[in-house]
Amino acid sequence: MMHSSDSQWPEVSFEERMATAHFDVHPHAHIVVNSAVCADCTSRECVVACPANLFVPTSDGGVVFNYEQCFECGTCYLVCNQEGAISWSYPEGGHGIVFRRT
């Protein structure tokens, strides 16, 4: 259902949304996704469930992943049904997401 004032109150773009969260990015990726496994995955649970939208399907049928704006929530490794697709750890101490008004 759309509310009448929607037009005066547009949703922010996903990029602007993510720009509201602060990340102290470490040069080393804390989550590594094995694209060879993803290429054979048809369910793609991570794509819809990752709150930061970090799993992006590519035109050639693969999935690309970027760790930089990760909330470190754990959703992806829990919903992924393929063994060996995601190797998950926390970023090095002091890095990654820094919440402020949560």
Partner 1 sequence: MSDRTQHAANPDVDVDVIVVGAGPAGSCAAIALARAGFSVVLLERGPFPGSKNMYGGVVYPRILDELIPRWYDEAPVQRWITRRSTMVMTDTQAMSIDFRNDAWAAPPYNGATAYRPDFDHWLAGHAESAGAQLLCSTTATGLLRDRSGAVTGVTTDRPDGDLTARLVIACDGVNSFLAKDAGLYREVAAKHYTLGVKETIGLPKEVIDERFGVRGREGVDIEIIGCTSGVNGGGFVYTNLDTVAVGVVLKLPALAAQQLRPEQIIAKMKTHSAIAPLVEGGELKEYSAHLIPEAGLSMMPKLATAGLLVAGDAAALCLAAGIWLEGVNFAMASGMYAGQAAAEALRRGDTSEQGLAGYERRLTETFVLRDHRKLRRAPALVLSDRVQHRYPQMVAAVVERMFRVDNPDPKPGLRRILAQERKRAGVRRRDLARDGWAGLRTFG
Q: Which stretch binds partner 1 (CB under 8 A): 15-23, 32-40, 56-64?
A: 15-23
Q: Using CB under 8 A, which residues numbered 32 to 51 contact partner 1?
A: 43, 45-46, 48-49, 51
* Cα-based distances in Å from 66 to 3, 7, 35, 52: 35, 32, 12, 10
Alpha-carbon distance of 2 to 10, in angstroms, equals 12
Q: CB of 92: closest distance to ligand SF4 in angstroms? A: 15
Q: CB of 12: closest distance to ligand SF4 in angstroms? A: 18
Q: Does 102 bind partner 1 (CB under 8 A)?
A: yes
* Cα-based distances in Å from 32 to 12, 14, 29: 29, 23, 7
- Alpha-carbon radius of gyration of the chain: 16
Q: CB of 39: closest distance to partner 1 in angstroms? A: 19
Residue 87 interacts, among ligand SF4, partner 1, none and using kind-specific CB cut-offs from 5 to 8 Å, with: none
